[in-house]
Chain A
Amino acid sequence: MSKSTVQTSFEQRLQKEKDLFIPFIMSGDPSPAATVELALTLQESGADILELGVPYSDPLADGPTIQEAAGRALQHGMNLKESIELVPKMRSKGLEIPVVLFTYYNPVLQYGLEQLFQDLREHDIDALLVPDIPLEESVELKEYAHEFGVELISLVAPNSEARIRKIAEQATGFLYCVSSLGVTGERKELSQDISSFLEKVKSYSSVPVAVGFGISTNEQVHLMKQYSDGVIIGSKIIKVINGYHDELVSESARPSALKKVKQEIVELVQ
């Protein structure tokens, strides 16, 4: 899909195209009210884009940390519709950065594609990422995304090989580069030859190129920022949040817990 001259809401809300910090949180973990406040805390901690996860019973691309977060959220009755409805609450409290809704495809199919895109639009959600839809199966989603002005975020992996160019050239919003093969989750070491992969991706992409999967230390953040336009951090952030689980659930203890979350996140990414 070529870039049109009319800016999408994603492009309008994105303040810079380099040195991006893209955190991932799970809707409803530890509670819906806490998710709203955590979004704002992450914005204060320097987040440039928020990736908001929708819990799913069978998250194939996720490691144990995000699986468990999804499990906790599902126990609280969180679902796609309620995830979407959290965003206007974030906006009314001052969230200005673009929001990417992250959901597996099966809940989307049950929701209905057209209904989903209409609701994303109406709820100020700027982009959609479906981790179990590769390029070949994305035609229908792309058509709706274009029609409703929502960016569809694509993933590209080190083993995408011949597909890298195709995926990168068609990318909208930002391009999500998987750092190494496997599922989400912290890794002690990131692949050594990632720089040549990222160079290749960047040569074909007209949107920011961000790296995710396994980034969990300040050192890794800085290393990855050298080779890319930004970092996506999921499991590590979920772990930080889970460290204050009970305090975040409690309305009275929440403000001080959010301060501690902010401090840890700033130390991670600054």
Chain B
Amino acid sequence: MSVTYPDSRGRFGEYGGQFVPETLMAPLKEIDESLQAAMEDPSFIEAYHQALKDYSGRPTSFTYADQLSEYLGGAKIYLKREDLNHTGAHKLNNALGQALLAKRMGKEKIIAETGAGQHGVASATVAAKLGLESKVFMGEKDIERQQLNVFRMKLLGAEVIPVSSGNKTLKDATNEAIRFWVANCEDHYYLIGSVVGPHPYPKMVRDFQRVIGDETKDQILAEQGSLPNRIYACVGGGSNAIGMFYPFLEDEVELVGVEAAGKGVDTPEHAATITKGSDGIIHGSKTYLMQDEHGQITEPYSISAGLDYPGIGPEHAYLHASKRVRYESVTDDEALDALQLLSRKEGIIPAIESAHALAQAFKEVKDMDANQSIVINVSGRGDKDMSTIMNVLQEGE
């Protein structure tokens, strides 16, 4: 395919780049060079795909949501089932790829940041499988909110490091992971969880997640002999969305990224970075972010911890600026409604993150024709969200 960005400086148009302290330039270069060599090495690619198949259970299913399509009317609804991946979300695709790279680079220790704990669990999982030592940085506030995932990580042998700086959430965990990495880059590999951070991370994570879109393309062509009219995916940092969208960028398919509007984009409590944010630098990359007039980064809010991030991957900023992808936002309430609808009509309980993509699709699908089709990426399963959902729904009763 002819989409060859980012350029050698890691720029997607004006976004991306390497806005990092000088001390990080050497480790980033080491990763960039190792990644290029690995991606050109057939044995590395084979090992990655083999692990996806044997360990994670790929390819993931592609489900025609017949009950739901009939109920809502309009276009046919297909679901890409990333919830069926080992550990319950798309996160493992990337964690496996990067851990294999770390091992190839001779690094025996990995570090990772986590918000809700999904990427932390994926990292701890691959570290266990590949015999690597793992440290997961997690904000103290998130540790309190996600005790089950903290326990899962510990069970998998990871060390969970509580972060007490800043607001004690994902943004701060990421800062702290980067700070630790600067001091320990000689023997540690930083396994970042989304298409964010300095070059080459956004490109690397995309390339390890594009398997979602590649499979989807084969599956829909096998199913109906033509591409879908639209594809929906939720966007926090944006790794499941980029993974899904990237193989379709040059096709005539409308791509829709769905952000978290929290309690509403007109309230201070949301995480709708593209809808409400502006250009700036976060975690080493130029992109859209949520900030005040003085350039201080502000704290996002969403019921879904996986979308609760004040920035967005630089490639999304570029795809928004170039108008290739349409970005919408969905509130907590709308996402919860969609989550319940999918549960009842299809017997699939999605993650609250994924429910954002579902909610936007459900709003739009009714206005489409019966001979049209859409794909929604169900990026993860809802098991991790049971207590959150239970609390909200019982309150409402």
Chain A residues in contact with chain B, CB under 8 A? 56-61, 63-64, 67, 74, 79-81, 104-111, 131-137, 154-157, 159-161, 163, 167, 178, 181-183
Contact = CB atoms under 8 A, between A and B. Distances in A.
A67 B165 contact: yes
A132 B23 CA distance: 10
Interface in B19-45: 19-23, 25-27
A109 B284 CA distance: 14
Given A57-B166, A58-B166, A134 B20 contact: yes
A60 B26 contact: no
A108 B295 contact: yes
15 contacts: A57-B166, A57-B297, A58-B166, A58-B171, A58-B297, A60-B179, A108-B295, A109-B280, A131-B21, A136-B18, A137-B18, A160-B22, A163-B25, A182-B23, A183-B183
A109 B294 contact: no
Contact of A181 (B23, B294, B295): B23
B185 interface: yes
A8 B140 CA distance: 48
Contacts of B298: 57
Contacts of B281: 104-106, 109, 132
Contacts of B165: 64, 67
B291 interface: yes
Given A58-B297, A67-B165, 19 more contacts: A57-B166, A58-B171, A60-B178, A61-B179, A105-B19, A106-B295, A106-B297, A107-B295, A111-B295, A132-B21, A132-B284, A134-B19, A134-B20, A134-B21, A135-B22, A159-B26, A163-B22, A178-B22, A181-B182
A57 B194 CA distance: 21
Contact of B296 (A74, A108, A156): A74
Contacts of A107: 294-296
Contacts of A105: 19, 281
Nearest to B179: A183
Interface in B149-187: 165-166, 171, 175, 178-179, 182-186
B129 interface: no
Given A107-B294, A163-B25, A133 B183 contact: no
Contacts of B20: 60, 132, 134
Q: Which 6 A-B pairs have the closest CB atoms?
A: A182-B183, A110-B295, A107-B295, A159-B26, A79-B294, A57-B296
Interface residues of B, number: 36
B283 to A, nearest CB: 8
B22 A156 contact: yes
Interface of B: 9, 17-23, 25-27, 165-166, 171, 175, 178-179, 182-186, 279-284, 289, 291, 293-298
Contacts of B293: 110
B22 A134 contact: yes
Contacts of A56: 295-296
Contacts of A64: 165
Contacts of A183: 179, 182-183
Given A106-B280, A161-B26, A181-B183, A60 B294 contact: no
Contacts of A106: 280-282, 289, 291, 295, 297
Nearest to A61: B21
A155 B184 CA distance: 19
Contacts of B283: 58, 60
Nearest to B281: A106
B295 A136 contact: no
A104 B297 CA distance: 12
Contacts of A178: 22-23
A232 to B, nearest CB: 14
A104 B175 CA distance: 14
Nearest to B19: A132
A56 B284 CA distance: 14
A181 B175 CA distance: 16
B111 to A, nearest CB: 14
A109 B279 CA distance: 8
Given A58-B166, A106-B282, A155-B21, A182 B295 contact: no
B294 A137 contact: no
Nearest to B167: A57
Contacts of B18: 134, 136-137
A163 B25 CA distance: 10
| Most chain A Cβ neighbours within 10 Å, of B23, B296, B297 | B23
